[in-house]
Amino acid sequence: MFARYNLNKLLPVYVGLFVFMAAVHFLILSLQLDTKPLLAIAEALVFNTILGILGIGLWFLVKFSDFDRVNLTEIIIRHLTISAVTLLIWFGSGYYIMEFISGNDHLYMTQMNQTIIVRLIAGLLLYIILVVVFYLLINYQNLADRKIREESLQNLLHESELNSLRAQIKPHFLFNALNSISSLTITNPTKAQEMVINLSEFMRYSLSFTNEGFSTLSQELRHLRLYLDIEKVRFGNRLVVEEIIQDEAAEWPLPPMILQPLVENSVKHGIYDTPGISTVRLNVLVEGQRMIVSISNNFDPSASGKNGTGTGLSNVKKRLRMIYGIGDLVQVIKNNEIFEVKLSIPHYGKNKGIDH
């Protein structure tokens, strides 16, 4: 609905407008005041050129005045001042230029002096029209801009929501978990029931997930443990999980499901890149204004790294950047046999601003 137009394309329209006004000006002078044609042309050109140039200055004045923030009386006072100055410059300079051009023609200058009031009123009217048109244009432009920004933000949100939805419940994870349950119903029904409940709770949390709002670390950990418990049943003693969580971090706010894809990656790479035992370590501590979450796994550097395309990690980066507006919250450390992802989460206050 709001198309953003190129303002440079409006410049010819602007110039055309003043050419038109100069023509009207000339006609009035010739018909009403019987001014000599050459002087009438000169005057029309001089006065309208000056106004045209002053008008461009006015445009930038209107554009860069933050009229959203000041009240109406202040705006009116400001414009009364600016209009007085503009009219003074306009009429003053026009007057003296014409005095010079006409060679101080007596008849012409007398006429000029007699019509000062009318001219000033006409000038004021033109000033008002210009300013009003400028305000309308800028408002329209801002609206179009905002619309575009909102749309792109919406798209980004939508995309990341889709991505994280896709990232949440991997069909392979689900089917393998169900296969484990199918097996446990025969060998260990109590454990099978336990796993059905874990899986249900995991699914319920995942399905209720939205991209909005904040959850707390302890809520997220509860969810991660459900996931890890399911994976431990699948992989038996090949998967070892170690947690060190600082108590102060328990209620720290963080975006929901932000850790899930990272822990999934850790399990996947740990399990599929090494035939032996793989250890997933989860360390959380508060350091000043940030909560540092470290998720790591051991891996075999000689593996060709076929598993995973890194989309999980890049989604997490994208989401964090969108939410906090800070770019470097994720750090990936890869040394000999440990792959570690470190998140540095700022504290989001109740007013949705970052606390400092």
Partner 1 sequence: MEKIKVLIIDDEPPARNLVKHYLGTFDNIEIAGECENGFEALKAIQEIRPQLIFLDIQMPKITGFELLELISDPPHIIFTTAYDEFAIKAFEMNAVDYLLKPFSASRFQQAVDRAIERISDKPSELQQPVKDLRNQLAEAVVEIDRVVARLGSRIVVIPTDTIYYVEAQDDYVMIYSSQGNHLKEKTMKYFEAHLPKNGFIRIHRSHIVNVSQIVSVDLYGKDTHLVVLKCGAKLKASAEGYKRLRELL
What SS3 class is residue 194?
Answer: helix
304 binds partner 1 (CB under 8 A): yes
Report the distance separating Cα 221 and Cα 294, nearest Å.
Answer: 13
Pair 154, 147: CB distance under 8 Å: no
Residue 184 C-beta: closest distance to partner 1, Å: 6
Q: Report the residue number, 51 or 195, with the smaller CB distance to partner 1.
A: 195
271 binds partner 1 (CB under 8 A): yes
352 binds partner 1 (CB under 8 A): no
Backbone angles phi, psi at 36, to 5 degrees: -60, 140
Residue 187 C-beta: closest distance to partner 1, Å: 5
309 binds partner 1 (CB under 8 A): no
- List 140, 272, 324, 348, residue binding partner 1 (CB under 8 A): 272
Report the distance separating Cα 284 and Cα 326, nearest Å.
Answer: 20
Residue 269 C-beta: closest distance to partner 1, Å: 11
Report the distance separating Cα 312 and Cα 341, nearest Å.
Answer: 12
A 10 A CB-CB count for 327 gives: 9
- The count of C-alpha atoms lying within 13 angstroms of the C-alpha of 313, restricted to the half-sphere facing its C-beta, is 17
- The count of C-alpha atoms lying within 13 angstroms of the C-alpha of 324, restricted to the half-sphere facing its C-beta, is 25
x-marked contacts with partner 1 along 116-155 as a string, rule CB under 8 A: ----------------------------------------
Q: What would the 3-class secondary structure string for 38-85 be?
A: HHHHHHHHHHHHHHHHHHHHHHHHHHHCCCCCCCHHHHHHHHHHHHHH
User: Using the 8-state DSSP alphabet, how is residue 211 labeled?
Assistant: S
Site for partner 1 in 198-257 (CB under 8 A): 233-236, 238
- Taking CB under 8 A as the binding criterion, the range among 34-42, 141-149, 270-278, 322-330 that sits at the site for partner 1 is 270-278
- List 180, 198, 260, 294, residue binding partner 1 (CB under 8 A): 180
Q: Report the residue number, 2 or 175, with the smaller CB distance to partner 1.
A: 175
Among 40, 42, 49, 39, which Cα is nearest to 19's? 49
190 binds partner 1 (CB under 8 A): no
DSSP H or E segment with residue 111:
helix 106-114
171 binds partner 1 (CB under 8 A): yes
Q: Report the residue number, 234 or 347, with the smaller CB distance to partner 1.
A: 234
- List 8, 73, 302, 351, residue binding partner 1 (CB under 8 A): 302
- List 154, 182, 289, 331, residue binding partner 1 (CB under 8 A): 182
Token pair, residue 119, equals 């001219």
Pair 317, 258: CB distance under 8 Å: no
Residue 301 C-beta: closest distance to partner 1, Å: 12
176 binds partner 1 (CB under 8 A): yes
Report the distance separating Cα 135 and Cα 131, nearest Å.
Answer: 6
Number of residues that bind partner 1 (CB under 8 A): 28
- Taking CB under 8 A as the binding criterion, the range among 15-23, 54-62, 210-218, 299-307 that sits at the site for partner 1 is 299-307
- List 144, 300, 308, 324, residue binding partner 1 (CB under 8 A): 300
69 binds partner 1 (CB under 8 A): no
- List 163, 274, 279, 283, residue binding partner 1 (CB under 8 A): 274
183 binds partner 1 (CB under 8 A): yes
Contacts of 292 (CB under 8 A, 6+ apart): 283, 284, 285, 286, 342, 343, 344, 345
- List 1, 3, 13, 186, residue binding partner 1 (CB under 8 A): 186
- The count of C-alpha atoms lying within 13 angstroms of the C-alpha of 289, restricted to the half-sphere facing its C-beta, is 7
- List 22, 263, 273, 280, residue binding partner 1 (CB under 8 A): 273
Interface residue list for partner 1 (CB under 8 A): 171-172, 175-176, 178-184, 186-187, 233-236, 238, 271-275, 300, 302-304, 306
